[in-house]
Structure 1
């Protein structure tokens, strides 16, 4: 009887989640209903699945009560609204009807076409119009009019009574009960950006839009039995049971085969390409590699993954071939020798003892996927290739669904209640949390937030997940078209997995851009070709490993952050395997678990490590008995307990919190103990090994993922070591990395390059380098418009260098304000005139009383020159201008801004000589990091540069920081105790103050 049920996927409208709808319906004895969310089908398949799962489930308490589980027949459709007005409800008769409805909505979403007032002629769908609609034609066979119980009195002598077969019951469902209606009102106020009391009635649902029993609903229409009969017939004509898959593992919905001829040819093609790649990677007749390759191919064929590998290979081949793009294949896919031979990844799984089972095995139920990274400005090219290659409706971006969990929504709740801004600000201030808890209004806001925090807020687009579907994807979802311009499904990765889709992750990162551009610059500036994929040479280069050990790889991917630099120094890291381990133990959660400290201690004293048994020593000797990697957990389960590798991976995944069935998990744990006993181990030993596995499994990280990062780190390190100037220019041009821009400019200066301010006759939009001279680009100039950032170098390259100010003005058609920016920064210094003279001159050409020249002159007419008195310029004035327009001074050290000439008693390079002593230092602020202690107090870690340009780090404990807080960029006087941890010195701050600076002479005037 319920043809119009809304879930919380009717964003900022419905309040009930899918599970709740089915649960409430079962409690009321409802036998069938239709989910019709507003302008989306996000929850349709989830609703069908939930109806079947709750119908099949037999909970013990339900059986005891004598309640026999039964199936609610799920039907799905879409409620179509235009300008927030209901125009019709579409209901799918069958799977084809679901596709028709989804494609109808998708067409209008993608092409931004308003929905028509009359429903489309769809063969496999019903449409229900609201009672208020007027008709100038007869209703089609599949069209009906919905009547609410409150509208029955309006039927008296109504023309529609001449078509009784077209009238059906319309009882919309939006909330759980009348109390929840208030939550609905909050959602509507947030959506409409208005006060709670100002939400119009026609923008809200009726207060009775909740589920009631079928008998109660029929009673409301007992004077119109034909409506009950019509409604029943309509619902009986619908059947979406084809969507339900009784197995917990859904069949794959991905494109089955890469080749048009089908899976059989895929197997042949994958085998041929893999063996060709095997020869490239390992040479001929490598028996170990051949055996591993054959094993993987058997599993890939069994799991029907040949097409998935080939489609990924095709993407990589296109990127490397036609586009000449560099990529990084990472994640658990790097455990595969097939992926290595197909050049999807550059990680050798044999060299690193990586298990394919971490990626794919016979018992894996959730689909794995490849993560492929490209440079930040090249990824879109690859995405366009994928969307062009596969048919419309068969390829789409994965969506995401954000919720109201962010406490910032408290601000929105406060706004709809009409609270003053000051009061709202105080409620969202984390430092006032305890004080706010005593406030009744604040408690009300928090209570409302508690009700809505898990509800969907808005649909968005996944960072890089793409779905390539065998059948039209519109069988399962309608599509949106977000601003990025790629069609996107209306559900997220979790629903995709539940339906049976494996995504292709096409991601991006700046580090690849650094490497790509550095290689290009080296070719252009030095005439040298670099084989950046020669990783085997890089990882054994003593010079690279020496720099790695020093822990100063600024600009290098993944290893430049303060925390990573500290770890590298503590480990005295000087080889690839140690870097791989470091990339794992640096992950969030590891340090707090004690794993990082344990690993460092054992790394420096390997002879003191006590292993529980021989198997643990054999399998964990490389990591000193610490299960650093997820692969280590698999090893122990396999070699110690005797589980096969597939079960070992399932157990590993379950312990990381990604296993849904508690019963199945308990069975696996029992299997571990039974199998371990069969190996002859004592109960005490088995229990202790299990304890260690349990404690490590939640924090351990994929070794293949770390290895992928470490390969890229070595590539960056190679470029920085041998071609530092070009590398640092590439870092700057690809938007840096962990640090702010000035740190990388400072690093570029340290390479010996002469770094120049932007110049209209030498600079491009980005930083360029020729020989030893590097010119900053116009991109970094605050306030400079994009048309001049691009236009100035384009004009110069087209018609030659600018000869003087007048010619520059005429050729670029620059405005007065934009010209002043460039003059103040010194970008027109080629004229030989000082800034103040040029500022005087620019008003001659572009003064407010001057008429702008909007087109090029036919004849060159020179302006009359005037003799000006000498005008003074100062270095500090220039530095302040650079600070304003570039966000840093280029040729004026930050220390030179200080009123004092004091630079500290100790420099960073001398800290190891002062361990245990209290010292005074002066540091230029680089960055800070806030962490929460076990007692839920805050402490900070700071990074600074001393006057000689060397880094040093500080620790600020909770008892000192409130008294001596960070105050942004600038130089600080630091009093603290020098401490040392595994050879790495830092300062435990006792007192801390920002130093005064000289005033800008222009501001003084």
Structure 2
């Protein structure tokens, strides 16, 4: 039976349109029993292909096209793994190729148990190989003599001859040339049926026989067992973990018996499940961060429910004191990997990667690959550009595509988009090609957080490729985990950077030293800030929905901040009114039964947290917390089968404890309803604590807060700072910094804030001012700047935000004279600054124009707002809107600053 070997998938980037599901589906329909994949110089798709083929009853044949230098010339060898050892060798060879090693002799050690296929067109008499070598022949090679056995070699890149134009377009995009200049895909690289291929090679029967013998015994067994790395080979992990955890309890002075009992229980479960080393590795990574002075946060997710994690300073929250459950994190009745995400300041993530690489080994740790695909806009731009579309046409088309749209949907629902496509035949053709490549992988990228680690060389399990900070997997995250490897997430959070920089700035400028983790989570001033809803810049609480909810709830204790986080979600939001009414005594708090009252009381009788479901199952029906976690999972997944079993167990357990059956039924019904959207309390608590820390700085040290936010985040916070009592300083060329800063209650905007202003020029101005002193005139400034910046369009933004007002207040006059000034500069050189230039007069901009230009360039106006000018000219007194009463009538003066068009499902347009 014929087996197709040399197929290139879409993971031979920009050189094929064969996607894996279609390939396997079509091959099965055509009657194939064995199917191969040989992408160019990579194994990105190998694992998923093998799983997909196996699932569909086909024998997978894992291979690769490897471009190797043989005796001075590049040859595109085809390599086929014959068994597990061959598959491992192929992974190692793919790794070496990605690192730039392409010499055949250097890589020959990796060719054991691999069939080496040399295309017939590359064959030359006298070529000698020690490996298991075949000559890959085409039907036209019938009758030719070769020194090695032959195999039929047919390349597949597409399913239909019409796809050739799509591949040519991909070539044009990848080569950055016009469509006519791009290389053309060869004819007949289609997936033919086994019968058609056997007929095509009927004149080379040996090739078909050799193929049948080669592939008939090929099988692979993927090792999916969990492969956790070891932390320390000189000491048992179980002993080291216990010692560190015990030391942690003593350091924190947690001497009550409840802590020791819980620690012993957690350590026993961790050891039983084989995760001692995992905890030690996480501890080590966080220890490294803290040793460098980084703020590592309070933790995240269900890990905050672990006392061991708290004792090791993996988290910063006492789970016993705050009623957080270990079983929500790690359940001995359900074997899953613990999931401890490591949060770290985003600006230091690269340093962590280097530490992991150096501490655990460059071939034992790697980042995880992802694949960037053609989005709808990208596909339109790339394809239409090569059909001659002008930039304005590309912009017209792109603007009509939202991030949610695919090309088919936008064509169907947007008439103006459809008209643009249909106006020219070449655009219609371009659109068909754009649809064909939409969603196709374009290139590799790096997972935003994922790191994989292994005790042995990773290439024993997965292929790697060279990366900037460390090696990168060729398999995506799902394939990495499916192969039993430990994936950890290093999440760079800018909010941790903010907190750390605020702490450092406060100490540097005011001499105030704050232990961030010791900030009182019941601080009244910070709680007042939450209650006011002035939480712009506060993690988790700066969106309109959260701000409005805070204003309604008005948290008076930290527990209500945590509750707000959980209420501000789909599903739970249905109970916001009840929560608020019960908090303020306007609705009765129903705690259902005295047994569960302590669990429901903090949330006014409303189940907000998944842990509440677990605790109720424990105290009311006698469930272990492990079993209660299984109940929670069944409820959240709406698993009817499992729910039915759990319902019986709950009713039986509650009956044995003498509970009221009606209350038992009511509770189970409530739990089933709430568990679907209940929030993880450990996660809510940890992230609310981080939000509280930011809010603490904003409420107690607002100048420090805004100084950091303006430096490390967007200019969105300028207006918030102004609303909280800060004012904007006038700008001048001799004092403007690069970054925004706040000094003496005034916001000084920086050069980096100017929209579209060249970063290199901004840095040059700062450096020149430092080396050569202040500018004494506009002429002096123009004499000193490099010629490449002597352009009206480059300097106009500086003029229009008032940087030269200290020399000349008429901004229009400065801009109008710039061209002449450049000429004088270049003719007189350094003498120009001493000469007397005759300025040409111009009428200056109006105050409104000044304001609008500043608003456009800086996001905020420095000149008086037009409405302030209107107020000065008014013949009647103004009254602030805040002074108006309900149902009163008033004439309101507004200035329209921006328009946003919203389309409803009925295609009705609304202006906002």
> Per the shorter chain, which TM-score range?
0.7 to 0.9
Partner of 2:607: 627
SS of residue matched to 2:834: coil
Deviation track 1:273-294 (CA, whole Å, cap 9, x = no partner) reads 222332344x141322222222
The structure-2 alpha-carbon separation of the partners of 1:138 and 1:783, relative to structure 1 and needing over 3 Å to count, comes to: same
Partner of 2:65: 79
Q: In the alignment, is residue 779 of structure 1 matched against residue 752 of structure 2?
A: yes
Structure 2 segments unaligned to the other structure (5+ residues): 403-408, 423-427
Q: In the alignment, is residue 37 of structure 1 matched against residue 44 of structure 2?
A: no
Partner of 2:524: 542
Matches within 5 A, 1:502-521: 502-521=486-505
Partner of 2:236: 265
1:123 corresponds, among 103, 106, 111, to 111
1:598 shift after superposition: 4.7
8 Å CA contact 1:758–1:778 kept in 2: the answer is: no
Q: Distance in 2 between matches of 1:871 and 1:153?
A: 80
SS of residue matched to 1:791: helix
1:714 corresponds, among 674, 692, 696, to 692
2:191 corresponds, among 187, 209, 215, to 209
1:86 shift after superposition: 8.7
Deviation track 1:784-821 (CA, whole Å, cap 9, x = no partner) reads 32233223333444565555556655666473335554
SS of residue matched to 1:533: helix
Deviation track 1:324-348 (CA, whole Å, cap 9, x = no partner) reads 4454522222222222222222233
Matches within 5 A, 1:887-926: 887-893=859-865, 895-896=867-868, 907=880, 909-910=882-883, 913-914=885-886, 921=892
Q: Distance in 2 between matches of 1:186 and 1:521?
A: 56
1:754 shift after superposition: 5.1
The structure-2 alpha-carbon separation of the partners of 1:757 and 1:82, relative to structure 1 and needing over 3 Å to count, comes to: farther
Q: Distance in 2 between matches of 1:547 and 1:672?
A: 44
The structure-2 alpha-carbon separation of the partners of 1:781 and 1:184, relative to structure 1 and needing over 3 Å to count, comes to: same
Partner of 1:827: 803
1:474 corresponds, among 459, 478, 481, to 459
1:545 shift after superposition: 1.3
Q: Distance in 1 between matches of 2:293 and 2:193?
A: 57
Q: In the alignment, is residue 670 of structure 1 matched against residue 655 of structure 2?
A: no
The structure-2 alpha-carbon separation of the partners of 1:904 and 1:35, relative to structure 1 and needing over 3 Å to count, comes to: farther
Q: Distance in 2 between matches of 1:667 and 1:239?
A: 37
Partner of 1:226: 206
Partner of 2:517: 533
Q: Distance in 2 between matches of 1:19 and 1:850?
A: 65
The structure-2 alpha-carbon separation of the partners of 1:318 and 1:892, relative to structure 1 and needing over 3 Å to count, comes to: farther
Deviation track 1:354-396 (CA, whole Å, cap 9, x = no partner) reads 2122222224444343233333323223233323333223222
2:139 corresponds, among 122, 132, 152, to 152
Deviation track 1:644-684 (CA, whole Å, cap 9, x = no partner) reads 33343345345545x9xx7xx73464244334334227887
Q: Distance in 2 between matches of 1:21 and 1:561?
A: 45
Partner of 1:167: 150
1:413 shift after superposition: 8.2
Partner of 1:885: 857
The structure-2 alpha-carbon separation of the partners of 1:511 and 1:819, relative to structure 1 and needing over 3 Å to count, comes to: same
Matches within 5 A, 1:436-451: none
Matches within 5 A, 1:696-715: 696-715=674-693
The structure-2 alpha-carbon separation of the partners of 1:867 and 1:227, relative to structure 1 and needing over 3 Å to count, comes to: closer
Q: Distance in 1 between matches of 2:15 and 2:365?
A: 30
SS of residue matched to 1:78: strand
Q: Distance in 1 between matches of 2:510 and 2:457?
A: 52
Partner of 1:349: 319
8 Å CA contact 2:755–2:858 kept in 1: the answer is: yes
Partner of 1:251: 225
Q: Distance in 1 between matches of 2:203 and 2:841?
A: 100
The structure-2 alpha-carbon separation of the partners of 1:910 and 1:831, relative to structure 1 and needing over 3 Å to count, comes to: closer
Partner of 2:95: 106
Q: Distance in 1 between matches of 2:666 and 2:75?
A: 63
* TM-score of the two chains, using structure 2 as the length reference: 0.82
Partner of 2:405: none
The structure-2 alpha-carbon separation of the partners of 1:96 and 1:315, relative to structure 1 and needing over 3 Å to count, comes to: same
Deviation track 1:252-300 (CA, whole Å, cap 9, x = no partner) reads 234x212243xx532222222222332344x141322222222222222
Q: Distance in 2 between matches of 1:849 and 1:342?
A: 66
Matches within 5 A, 1:807-818: 808=781, 813=786, 815-817=789-791, 818=794
The structure-2 alpha-carbon separation of the partners of 1:565 and 1:797, relative to structure 1 and needing over 3 Å to count, comes to: same
8 Å CA contact 1:335–1:355 kept in 2: the answer is: yes
Say what the alpha-carbon RMSD is for the aligned residues: 4.7
Q: Distance in 1 between matches of 2:128 and 2:429?
A: 49
1:564 corresponds, among 535, 540, 546, to 546
Partner of 2:406: none
Q: Distance in 1 between matches of 2:90 and 2:870?
A: 68
1:863 shift after superposition: 1.0
8 Å CA contact 1:78–1:90 kept in 2: the answer is: yes
The structure-2 alpha-carbon separation of the partners of 1:121 and 1:251, relative to structure 1 and needing over 3 Å to count, comes to: closer
Q: Distance in 2 between matches of 1:597 and 1:16?
A: 53
